[in-house]
Each structure stands twice: as C-alpha cells, then as structure tokens.
C-alpha cells in the first residue's frame, strides 16, 4: 500500500506538523506578525528553548519568515511565509474540528491522565 511509503503525502504532512508545538505556533502566526515575546505570552507552557527550536526549524523549512531589526534592545518578528499560509489551511480545519469535538477530546485526555 502507498501509505507505507516514506514519500506518501499524508506521511509527509504529519512529519512536518506532527509534533506538539508546530501546529500551535503556525496557528498563532496565522493571525499576523508576532514578536518572540508575544508568541511566548500566547503559549505560556512552552519554554524559550523549545519555542526557539521550533521557530528555527519552521524558518529552515521555509514556513516562517524571521525579520531582525538592528535596534537596542534587539527586535525580532516572525510571520508565516506563503508556504506557511498554505500549511495553515489543514491546521485551521483541525483546530475547528477540535473545537467542535471538545467533549470527545476531553474524555480521551482524561483517560490518558488516569
């Protein structure tokens, strides 16, 4: 079956956004350009190190644009590239589905915690 192949499109998208923070960060940046501290305030349970790592990977993958202003103190802004906006489309659908099925997700989560 094709689904077992490494280059199968579903496997590729899941490899790209299948970690805990990537879809959340992409979803946050879909609202517009944000500075590092603004992103961290929206995601209080992410460490600075993890946020930095995910942003660097997204920048490397061409999904996030990083703009550094040469001012004191340093100012850095992050925004989605055109490719990042396209990747956001399925993430947005997933977020909408999650909001509609919050009770189901809570039930599953509660079983994991026990």
- What are the C-alpha distances in Å from 16 to residues 23, 24, 54, 105? 9, 13, 11, 23
Helices 22-29 and 82-100 cross at an angle (nearest 10°) of 110
CATH number for the 2-113 domain, one of 3.60.15.10, 3.40.50.970, 3.20.20.70, 1.10.10.10? Answer: 1.10.10.10
Kindly tell me if the per-residue pLDDT of 23 is higher than 70: yes
Mean pLDDT, rounded, for 79-103: 95
pLDDT in the model for residue 6: 77
pLDDT band at 14 (very low <50, low <70, confident <90, very high): confident
For residues 24 and 106, what is the distance between their CA atoms, to the nearest angstrom? 18
Q: How far apart are the first and last CA of the chain?
A: 36
Give the pLDDT confidence of 34-86 residue by residue, as tens digits. 999 999 999 999 999 999 999 999 999 999 999 999 999 889 999 999 999 99
């Amino acid at each position: 079956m094709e689904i077992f192949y490494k280059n199968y499109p579903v496997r590729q998208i899941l490899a790209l956004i299948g970690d805990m923070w990537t879809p959340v960060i992409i979803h946050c940046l879909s609202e517009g350009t944000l500075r590092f501290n603004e992103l961290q305030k929206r995601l209080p349970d992410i460490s600075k190190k993890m946020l930095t790592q995910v942003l660097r990977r997204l920048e490397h993958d061409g999904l996030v644009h990083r703009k550094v202003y040469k001012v004191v103190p340093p100012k850095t802004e992050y925004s989605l590239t055109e490719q990042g906006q396209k990747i956001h489309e399925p993430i947005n659908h997933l977020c909408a589905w999650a909001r509609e099925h919050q009770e189901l997700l809570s039930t599953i989560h509660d079983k994991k915690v026990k």
